[in-house]
Amino acid sequence: ADHRTAPVNALGYLRVMFTVDDVDEMVARLSKHGAQLVGEVVQYENAYRLCYIRGVEGLLIGLAEEIGNK
């Protein structure tokens, strides 16, 4: 299967996730290099802001900003 078009919830090793200080700033920085936001930035309870981006090679990259301790 072509991982470049796989949905974010597909089974397998198709993605990696990083914690970041500011999701919005990181999405803006990565977008300048060709990455595309998949869906939207969402908030999980009062703990995290999360999103997925798709890199230029098709790899899914998850970004997580911890907001519970701010």
The number of domains in the chain is 1
Q: 62: which residues sit within 8 A by CB, 6+ positions away?
A: 8, 15, 16, 17, 18, 50, 51, 52
Beta bridge partners of 57: none
> pLDDT value at position 16?
81
CA distance 57 to 55: 5
Is 5 inside a domain boundary? Answer: no
Helix (H/G/I), strand (E/B), else coil: 6: coil
Residue 26: phi, psi to the nearest 5? -70, -40
Give the pLDDT score at 70. Answer: 59
* Residue 57 belongs to some domain of the structure: yes
Residue whose tokens read 């301790």:
69
37 is in which domain, residue-wise?
13-66
- At 3-60, the pLDDT tens digits run 666 666 666 666 688 999 999 999 999 999 999 999 999 999 999 999 999 988 888 8
Residue 46 has a pLDDT of 92
Structural domain contains residue 2: no
